Amino acid sequence: MTLGALAFLNPWLLLALGTLPIIYWLLRTVPPRPQQLTFPPTRILVGLENREKTPAKSPWWLLLIRLLAAALVILALAEPILNPERNAPLAGEGPVAIVVDNGWASAPDWTARQAMVDRMISTAESQSRPVVIVPTAFPAQTFEAKIEAPAQARATARAMMPQPFAPTRNAAAEALSKTLTAADAKGVSVIWLSDGVDHKGETTTFAEMMNGLATSGTFTVVDDPTGSAPRALVGNVGTGGKLEARVLRTGTNGPANGILHAYSTRGAQLGSAQFTFNSGASETKATFELPLELRNQITRIAIADSRSAGAVSLLDARSQWQRVGLISSETSEQAQPLLAPFYYIEKALAPTAEIVKPRDANLAAGIDQALAQNVSILIFADIGTLTPEAEDQVRTWIEKGGVLVRFAGPRLEKGGDDLLPVPLRIGGRTLGGALSWSTPQKLAPFDENSLFAGLTIPNDVVVNRQVLADPARLTPETQVWARLADGTPLVTADRRGDGMIVLFHVTGNSDWSNLPISGLFVELLKRVSTLGRLGGSSETTDAQTSANGEEVASDTSTLAPLQTLDGFGVLTPPPPASRGVEVAKFADTTASLEHPPGYYGSRGSPRAINIIRSNDTLAPITSLPTGAAHRSYENAEAEPMKPWLLAAAFALILADMIAVLLLQSGGRLFGRSGPAVARSVVAMAVIATSLAATFHAAPAFAQAGVQAPRQNSATDDAKAMAATSKVTLGYVVTGDAQTDDTSRIGLAGLCRVLALRTAVTPGDPMPVDVVKDELAFYPVLYWPVLDSTPTLPEETLAKIDAYMKQGGMIVFDTRDQGRGMPAGLGFPGSESSALQRILGKLDIPRLEPVPQNHVLTKSFYLLRSFPGRWDSGQLWVEAGGVASAESNREARRADGVSTILITSNDFAAAWALDANGRPLYPTVPGGEGQREMAFRTGINIVMHALTGNYKADQVHVPALLERLGQ
């Protein structure tokens, strides 16, 4: 039964309210109080008259208290519920179809969406109805909706995760319709958990299809969780080369503001910018005020308070603002403006680069001035040869990553120098000359592996004169990015060290061709400018980097995925469904299952795909069928009133007891019976207060999903002192007594061995509740992962993330010999494992098995394997987290300490010793030799956490001794 915002789960019990008149009749008379007399001699009783009168009826206020207490008990037993619409039964008797928007816009409030799905499944379960879970963003190429029992549907819902692309709602509707039609389902109830964005303009069609499927049931739309529109952004180059970001929302909300953070490749925060939305505005801009050198290091922009792939914008070389030096053989005084060698080059580069023009007419001095200003690109116009000193200087600069772009001219017709991508034939090719065309030559279409692939060539662009590459000396390493219609190279390039040399075989002005005065010229130079300081184009590399860091051969016409964003906006290895993108189609590629947002191409110069592109907007959902019902997500669950009513009833009953005691004492608290009455009153008041506090506090904390705050601060201080007085290892309590006992005994055994073999004097290991306790006291946390491990609250995940980023180390131990490792983190396994539930929302780096020269292999003992009770599992650490002598990878964190280790070998069981030092668990299969290696593994882990990468630095000792002459 529902009465507005109040519903009763047992409404038939309200009939008991009809007994209140009977209770009134029973309570209206109070039995006379027994007369208490002292019996002296019988004579004294003669003529004794009792002056104290006992009323024949109860006082009206006492009667009211008793009636109210009875009414409250009856109401409590009827189990009233506030906000009954959240638990209201769904109309219909067929399957309950729960359609969930799980695209990028759903990620920020994914926890609330999961809670709503669970509530809908519980409602269906109470009505004995099957459930169909349908995501609108498919995680695989094919999807088939299944009608399941509520228990199986819960598992399906838990496995569903946000995807880093927009949903395809119509495809989801077709899949659901196909399943319901095949099952001949009737009375279907459809619940659509919307993300509030009209992706691809298909919302109207989708909603009509959903409403059609719920002909004899209900179609319900669940709106945005928090009432705030999803946010997204895209980064671009603004006026003067400043980095700007367009921040988008659906524009259905009032004023709002936020902060953007800019990050480098290593994850360091380089800058911040604030943005503000006016009321009803759907777009705003934010600008990062940073020096050019710092601004060009930014590879990622993210909205601070929004975890989704749409709230992240990845930047590549195309968004960088390059500093370009222009060196010419002519002085500006001698050159007419429109005929000057750099006039059209300057006009083409001005919107995307900072121009540096040395004032010194001396060629060598001009090069010195340009390089002193840290240019990333040098452009030479008709410079034939350089002095040996200048040539060596430029060659060294190129090999360190610089890009030299040369334009031809009469001086280069003499052959040029060694700073050319291809040797030239002496003498040029001109219209009407010895090596001539009968007509001016047009440009041939660009090859797919060209830097210019995908650009449209105007029909009126022709070439009248050019310098010729010597065909006999063209090598496979020479890249030809543009050709004339007869196949003659027009733009060539060659790698030199980490840099590149590019040659345009025509002049930079209109003397030899009308190319410089065309719009194509601007696009050509824009593409070339992306090479600055990045070692060449991503399209022209000979190899790609696979997900495990190895170089593999690839088709240069296709850019393979390098790193991609997951639904929460975290860069991860590419998923199995991802595919490469053709170079010619890259600019028009949108984020999808096959092409998720992320970096593509080579690790040295990747290209980025983002969810939001430069001209995109976010459209709100405005049109829904007339019969659709609406619900909204709520932060709190439906609130039962039974505890509150029972608490009030108990309080009234105690008040009644106190009133009766006072009436019996005649209102005299200080007479002969006064002290006893007063003590009874005080005791009952204390009981009433305790009961009221219990009924008040327990539901509140239960609804919020947290425990009541601790009151004993002295105990906390004592624990903090004990944890910080010595090196203390912590173990995460799981709630399973045997597991927690094994962790405690195992760490105690490891501490005993540490004290005997090293200079570390550890304290006793301490239990740690990750929800309540402070984590910063423990350099190492050992975390045994159980299958029953629940999903942690957002506040706890944030605390764990901060602990790891501030230098703490967590050793996750699944204890299952490698069978429970989750996917998507760099190692194989099931996405629904307990470890995945813990790590799924943590900002952790890519993981890899311990490399051969990792510091963990030599922090105290020299190790090649890391066994525990089992020896078949792998130990995983942060990928690229430690520098070594043979590796060029740099430490991701200070001191190179891996903040996360994951094993399945059950370390604690191998370390567990009894009071006499005897092992408690067998080690399989290696026996006591394996246990010794397990202890060495534990010692290496602790020493690595305490000392960082000092062992890695020991490889430099021979070089230092040699330099010192020893």
pLDDT at 619: 87
- Predicted pLDDT of residue 317: 73
Render pLDDT for 653-703 as a digit per residue (tens, 0 to 9): 888 777 777 776 655 544 445 555 555 555 555 555 555 555 444 444 333
Which pLDDT belongs to residue 731?
Answer: 95
| Distance from C-alpha of 119 to C-alpha of 103, rounded to nearest angstrom | 21
Beta bridge pairs of residue 272: 261
Is the pLDDT at 503 greater than 90? The verdict is yes
Looking at the predicted structure, is the pLDDT value of residue 743 above 80?
yes
Least confident span in 294-298, 431-435, 461-465? 431-435
As a whole number of angstroms, the longest Cα–Cα distance in the chain is 160
Reading the block at residue 168, the tokens are: 């395809």
Region for residue 130 given its phi and psi (left: phi exceeds 0; alpha: psi -120 to 50; beta: otherwise): beta
Tell me which residue of 34, 54, 162, 24 sits closest to 102, measured CA to CA. Answer: 162
pLDDT grade, residue 887 (50/70/90)?
very low
Record the tokens describing residue 84, joined without a space. 């009954």
Of 485-499, 616-630, 780-794, 925-939, the range with the lowest mean pLDDT is 616-630
**Predicted local confidence at residue 830, as pLDDT:** 42
What pLDDT, on a 0 to 100 scale, did the predictor assign at position 697? Answer: 45
Give the three-class secondary structure for 603: coil
Q: CB neighbours of 837 closer than 8 A, spacing ≥ 6?
A: 158, 789, 790, 791
Contact present, 731 and 743 (Cβ < 8 Å): yes
How far is C-alpha 830 from the chain's CA centre?
19
Cis amide bond preceding 925, omega within 30: yes
Q: Write down the pLDDT at residue 947.
A: 83
Type of residue found at 311: A
H or E stretch including 768? Answer: strand 766-768
Partners of 559 in beta bridges: 581
Q: Is the pLDDT of residue 437 over 70?
A: no
* Separation CA 267–CA 288 (nearest Å): 17
- What domains can you pick out in the chain, each with its CATH number? 85-212 (3.40.50.410), 231-320+548-617 (no CATH), 321-531 (3.40.50.880), 713-955 (3.40.50.12140)
CA 493, CA 530: separation in Å to the nearest integer?
Answer: 14
Supply the mean pLDDT for the chain: 79
Instruction: Tell me what the mean pLDDT of segment 809-815 comes to.
Output: 91
Range from 254-258, 358-362, 388-392, 489-493 that averages highest in pLDDT? 489-493
Distance CA 267, CA 757 (A): 38
* pLDDT tier for residue 357 given thresholds of 50, 70 and 90: confident
pLDDT digits (tens, 9 = 90+) for 508-539: 888 899 999 999 999 999 888 878 654 333 33
DSSP state of 587: G
What pLDDT does residue 313 have? Answer: 93
- Residue 40's pLDDT band, with cuts at 50, 70 and 90, is low
Least confident of 465-479, 631-645, 901-915: 631-645
The label of the residue with tokens 């070089």 reads 959
Both tokens of 857, joined, read 């292999």
**Half-sphere exposure of 648 toward its Cβ, with a 13 Å CA cutoff?**
15
Rounded distance between C-alpha atoms, residue 873 and residue 923, angstroms: 13
Report d(CA 821, CA 815) in Å as an integer.
Answer: 10
Distance CA 159, CA 272 (A): 35
pLDDT score for 901? 92
Provide the pLDDT for residue 396.
92
pLDDT at res. 41 = 59
Highest mean pLDDT among 16-30, 525-539, 777-791: 777-791
CA distance 505 to 483: 10
The structure tokens listed for 629 are: 């019902």
> Which residues, 6 or more positions from 396, have their beta carbon under 8 angstroms from its beta carbon?
none
Beta bridge partners of 118: none
- Token readout for 182 is 């095949």
Tell me the two tokens of residue 100.
Answer: 């969930």
Report the number of secondary-structure helices (H) and strands (E) in the chain.
21, 43
What are 562's two structure tokens? Answer: 């390098």
Per-residue pLDDT band for 603 (boundaries 50, 70, 90) equals confident
Closest CA to 811 of 733, 674, 907: 907
**pLDDT mean over 212-218:** 77
- Which of 266-270's residues contact partners 24+ apart within 8 Å by CB, and which partners? 266/890, 266/892, 267/892, 270/294, 270/297, 270/298
pLDDT at 707 exceeding the cut of 70: no
pTM value is: 0.53
- Quote the pLDDT of residue 433: 54
Closest CA to 646 of 35, 74, 224: 74
Helix or strand or coil: residue 106?
helix
Of how many residues is the chain composed? 966
Q: In terms of C-beta density within 10 A (0-12 exposed, 13-18 middle, 19 or more buried), how is residue 713 classed? A: exposed
Residue 330's pLDDT band (cuts 50, 70, 90): low
Read off the pLDDT of each residue in 581-610 and give the average, rounded to a whole number: 87
Q: How far apart are CA 108 and CA 231, in angstroms?
A: 9
Does pLDDT of 792 surpass 90?
no
**Average pLDDT for residues 259-281, to the nearest whole number?**
87
The pLDDT confidence band at residue 164, using thresholds 50, 70 and 90, is very high
- State the DSSP string of 597-650: SEEEE-SSSEEEE-SS-TT---PBP----TT-EEEE--SS--EE-HHHHHHHHH
Which of 152-161, 350-359, 604-613, 816-825 holds the top average pLDDT?
A: 152-161
More confident residue, 936 or 23: 936
Angstrom distance (rounded) from CA 858 to CA 850: 12
Note if the bond before 150 is cis, omega within 30 degrees.
no
671 CB neighbour count, 10 Å cutoff: 11
**Cβ atoms < 10 Å from Cβ of 763:** 14
* Predicted confidence (pLDDT) at residue 955 exceeds the cutoff of 70: no
Which residue, chain included where needed, has tokens 């989704």?
Answer: 308
Token look-up 């840099």 returns 499
- Is residue 246 within 8 A of residue 233, CB to CB? The reply is yes
Instruction: State the pairing for strand pair 479-483/489-496.
Output: antiparallel
Distance CA 535, CA 402 (A): 7
pLDDT of residue 556: 53
Q: What is the mean pLDDT of residues 105-120?
A: 88
Find the mean pLDDT for residues 203-218.
83
Report which of 204, 101, 191 is spatially closest to residue 621, judged by C-alpha positions: 204
Is 24 exposed, middle or buried, given 0-12, 13-18 or 19+ CB atoms closer than 10 A? middle
| 459 or 827, which is more confident | 459
Specify burial of residue 242 (Cβ count, 10 A radius: 0-12, 13-18, 19+): middle
In the three-class reduction of DSSP (H, G, I as helix; E, B as strand; rest coil), residue 248 is classed as: strand
- Are 269 and 262 in contact by the 8 Å Cβ rule? The answer is yes
Distance CA 381, CA 506 (A): 10
DSSP, collapsed to helix, strand or coil, labels residue 205 as helix
* Residue at token pair 């299944």: 146
The residue type of 640 is P
Q: Parallel, antiparallel, or unpaired for β 465-466 and 429-430?
A: antiparallel
pLDDT at 825: 46
Round to whole Å and give the CA distance between 404 and 418. Answer: 12
Q: CB–CB of 147/95 below 8 Å?
A: yes
Q: Cα separation of 306 and 290, whole Å?
A: 23
Integer angstrom CA distances of residue 226 from 382, 508, 885 = 63, 57, 51
Instruction: Give pLDDT tens digits for 384-403.
Output: 888 888 889 999 999 988 99
Categorize the per-residue pLDDT at 48 as very low, low, confident or very high, splitting at 50, 70 and 90: low
Per-residue pLDDT band for 933 (boundaries 50, 70, 90) equals: very high
Contact 797, 822 (CB under 8 A): no
* Range in 251-260, 354-363, 638-647, 700-709 the model is least confident about: 700-709
Query: DSSP 3-state assignment of 567?
Result: coil
Q: CB neighbours of 662 closer than 8 A, spacing ≥ 6?
A: 669, 677, 681
Asked if 560 and 576 touch (Cβ cutoff 8 Å), the reply is no
Residue written as tokens 């430029």? 394
Q: What pLDDT does residue 842 have?
A: 75
Q: Which of 837, 916, 880, 959 is nearest to 266 (CA)?
A: 880
Interhelix angle 20-27/60-77, nearest 10 degrees? 150
Mean pLDDT of 230-238: 85
pLDDT tens readout for residues 853-886? 888 898 889 998 999 998 888 898 887 644 333 3
